[in-house]
Amino acid sequence: MTGAEGGFRATVLTLYPEMFPGPLGVSLAGKALQDGAWSLETVQIRDFTTDKHRMVDDTPAGGGAGMVMKADVLARAIDHVSGGHVADGRPKLYMSPRGKPLTQARVRELAAGPGAIMLCGRFEGVDERLIEARDFEEISIGDYILSGGETAAIVILDAIVRLLPGVMGNVMSGETESFETGLLEHPHYTKPQEWEGRRIPDVLLSGNHGAIDKWRRSEAERLTKERRPDLWQAHRALLKK
């Protein structure tokens, strides 16, 4: 267990506990971990095998390539950390490319909760019966394949931890970022005022906060429309309600 008890509790079930905390041990997440704003526990799935070879996987039923992680081994690991079939109040998340895409709205929901139990798959994935029997929510961080769920778990935890109370110094910095308002974030500039012939837009130097807010909103809408038409359409539909 890393970090103090209390606050947001993350338990990660993995074949590679040495991958944690990894990036979560530095910067904002690392300081929050050290300060006890959240805690991180890793559980070695292989510790819950019962055979001398410590097998966590087997060949897929029906044939095919690869190996599938065993339901019985995983269930013992999960029940060990969650108290069996009785839920401990934390959602169970399975990192999966077929899961629902992670959104900032879901990140905020998770950050407002007591924590999460996160299962990191390997090989071809896990036995479907385990997902059903232990009521796992499948989450995807994008339409691509990783070697295992550990990297995805780190991404999700990083997104969650930065929203925990007191982690970000300036709360407004979180409220104006991409996806928080349904739009991508506006461009940012800082000194020097001119660099390689490129100037900071005059409106940002005007001191007129109303004009600055209007420019930022306009730029956010422009970028969203150009780069993420799917978000733009959803944003427009929401405004019409």
Binding-site residue set: 121, 141-146
* SS3 state at 12: strand
* Backbone φ and ψ of 5, nearest 5°: -65, 155
Binding-site residue set for S-adenosyl-L-methionine: 121, 141-146
CA-CA distance, 221 to 188, in Å (whole number)? Answer: 15
Three-point CA angle 33, 38, 40, nearest 5°: 75
CA-CA distance, 132 to 110, in Å (whole number)? Answer: 21
CA-CA distance, 95 to 83, in Å (whole number)? Answer: 21
Whether 164 and 40 have beta carbons less than 8 Å apart is answered as: no
**Residue 45 CB-half CA count within 13 A:** 23
Specify the DSSP class assigned to residue 178. Answer: T
CA-CA distance, 28 to 26, in Å (whole number)? Answer: 7
Contact partners, residue 199, CB within 8 Å, separation at least 6 = 193
Contact partners, residue 65, CB within 8 Å, separation at least 6 = 124
